[in-house]
Structure formats: C-alpha cells, structure tokens
Amino acid sequence: MPAQLISGTQLSQSLRADVAKRAAALAARGKQPGLAVILVGDDPASHVYVRNKVKACADVGFHSVFEKYESTLSEAELLKKIDALNRDPLIHGILVQMPLPKHIDPHKVIESIATNKDVDGYSVLSAGELLTGLPGFRPCTPYGCMKLIESTGYDLRGKHAVVVGRSNTVGKPMALLLLQANATVTICHSGTPDLAYHTRQADVIVAAVGRRNTVTADMIKPGAVVIDVGMNRDDNGKLCGDVDFANAKEVAGYITPVPGGVGPMTITMLLVNTIEAAERT
Ligand code: NAP
C-alpha cells in the first residue's frame, strides 16, 4: 500500500492560523509581535528565503523589519546593528540570513543576538538548552520535522530513528529532539560506511544531506516514517529532496514530499518561535 503523505503545506496552514490568532490577541493588548530579518550581500537564494519570511510575517499580523546591507558591510557594523535590534522593544525575534560574506564570522554574529530573541535557535545557549532538555528556542527545521511526525499520531517512544546528516542546524538538533521523544537514535554522516545497513533498520528516517537519491526505496523498512529535509535540483531543474520519492512512497508508511513537506514548516516554526518570544516578554 502506498505511503500516506504528510503535508507540510496543510500542517503549516493550521499552525499559522493559530499563530495569527495569538498575534491578534497580543495586538489587542497593545503588543504587536515583531521579527527583524537581516540580509548581508546578494545571494539570490537568500533573497528568496528572506522575502518569504517577511511575507509570512505580514500574513500572520507580525510587524517585520527587513534590513538589507551590501556585502562590504563590516563585521563590527553588523554587530552594532544587531545590538540596536537587541534593545528595540518592538522586536521580539532576530534572524540573520546565512550564509554571510566570508569576512564575517557567523558564530560571532549568532552569539551577539540576545538569547530571548534567538528565534532561529542557533546560539550555543539555545543548543545547550536543547541538549539539557531546558525550555528554549528549537532550530526551526528540525522542530518542523517533529511537528510533521507528531501530526500523524505516530508514537516515537522506543522506535529506532535514523538521522542522515549531522549539521549543527538540522542533523544534530533533529537527533536530540528525537531522543527527547524517547526514540533510540542513530546518526549517520559522510563517514558512515554502510548507510543502507542503518536505514533498513529504521522505523523513522530523517534525511538531511543535500544530495538527491541518498535514500532509495531498497534502503527503507516497509511502513517506516520518512522525513525528507533535502532541497536539491533534479536533471530538469525541478526541486527534489534526498529521498527517491517516486519509489520510496511505495514502501514507506508515511512520507513527506518535496516540495510541500519540510520546506513550509521551517518558516512556520520561525513564526511559532517569534510569537512565543513576544508572549514571553
Ligand atoms: P550540510 O551542513 O551540508 O550537512 C549535510 C550532512 O550530510 C553532513 O553532516 C554530511 O556529513 C552528511 N552527508 C553528506 N554526504 C553523505 C552521505 N553520502 N551519506 C550520509 N551522510 C552524508 O547540510 P544541512 O544544512 O544540514 O542541509 C541538508 C539538506 O537539507 C540540504 O539539502 C539543505 O538545502 C536542506 N535544508 C532544507 C531546509 C528546509 O527548510 N527544507 C532547511 C535546512 C536545510 P559530514 O558531516 O560527514 O560532512
């Protein structure tokens, strides 16, 4: 039987409707949630991401500030801009779009964002909060993946989850969130000798690699939950994930499509983190 699709587009709609309701409730008390998005340089993909984030803010009734700077902006100048936003009472979340130009240290920039405005959840403190199970901002993409799994009613307790990829922004926090949900977690990476050996034992696979067809149908246990974070282009230039979707959907129990799976959830969870930041202050 073909897999059930987990639609990030649909889930996003309901989560964003809830965010909009909460934003309206705050606005009625005189506080409009505010997100600041900073873009440095001319990376075309970053422009698209930032535009989508700013539009998503408007759609749920947030105030948003979009600050765009030339790629020649110095690190010191950028840190000064962030400092001003840290002090701005109308701003509850700050996001600096990555990648930054080479002369700017991304770690320094991330650490300069006030912890209570770190809605991307990338700072060392936010990572530590996740590691130790303290409340805090969870990185938006893995947080969205968890919501997608939760939306199916699937119980992760005692299940074997295999995360393919170990980046600080996706793979590692994903593994920690799955662990927190009491799954038994395996993390695979480019040095894993036999990826298929691990994925074939998985009740849940999260693929976050950035290479299409990394996970093929023969690597999936029948009935498994497959979450595809990858964003790649096929030979025709069409967006595709890391999973061979056409064949994998015949084996998996649940699967996310690309597009329309994890992608919309990332921005949705940014909105969720921002409304929480606004509600907390
Ligand atoms: P990344 O920083 O490049 O990390 C990729 C990971 O994949 C690394 O840990 C790497 O291992 C591992 N890897 C590479 N080749 C492998 C192989 N053959 N077998 C097993 N593991 C392998 O990428 P990322 O930022 O985590 O993003 C991953 C993908 O998700 C990309 O396509 C990105 O565009 C997409 N993404 C999508 C969203 C969304 O909203 N949908 C958000 C973020 C990212 P090593 O550590 O050993 O190098």
Report pLDDT for 55. Answer: 96
Q: Which CATH number does the domain housing residue 70 bear? A: 3.40.50.10860
Atom of ligand 1 nearest to the CA of 144: 40
Query: In this predicted model, what pLDDT tens digit does every residue of 199-218 receive, in sequence order?
Result: 999 999 999 999 999 999 99
Query: In this predicted model, what pLDDT tens digit does every residue of 3-43 receive, in sequence order?
Result: 999 999 999 999 999 999 999 999 999 999 999 999 999 99
Whether residues 212 and 110 share a domain: the answer is no
pTM above 0.95, yes or no: yes
How many folded domains does the chain comprise?
A: 2
CB atoms within 10 A of CB 252: 26
Omega before 106 cis (within 30°)? no
Whether residues 150 and 238 share a domain: the answer is yes
Domain presence at residue 269:
no
The DSSP code sequence of 141-163 is: HHHHHHHHHHHTT---TT-EEEE
Nearest CA to ligand 1 atom 17: 190
Q: Reply yes or no on whether the pLDDT at 1 is more than 80.
A: no
Query: In this predicted model, what pLDDT tens digit does every residue of 39-59 receive, in sequence order?
Result: 999 999 999 999 999 999 999
Domain presence at residue 8:
no
* Domain ranges, residue 43: 30-114
Report pLDDT for 281. Answer: 87
* Catalytic site includes residue 53: yes
Cα distance between residue 107 and residue 84, in whole Å = 18
Whether residues 186 and 222 share a domain: the answer is yes
In single-letter form, the type of residue at position 88 comes to: D
Ligand 1 center to residue 190 CA distance, Å? 10
Q: Which CATH number does the domain housing residue 197 bear? A: 3.40.50.720
Whether residues 107 and 146 share a domain: the answer is no
With tokens 């096929």, the residue in question is 234
Atom of ligand 1 nearest to the CA of 231: 32
Ligand 1 center to residue 38 CA distance, Å? 24
**Ligand 1: residues whose CB is within 6 Å?**
141, 164-167, 169-171, 188-192, 195, 208-211, 214, 229-232, 262-263, 266
Ligand 1 center to residue 169 CA distance, Å? 9
- Catalytic residue, chosen from 81, 117, 118, 120, is 120
Cα distance between residue 185 and residue 174, in whole Å = 10
Atom of ligand 1 nearest to the CA of 266: 40
Nearest CA to ligand 1 atom 47: 190
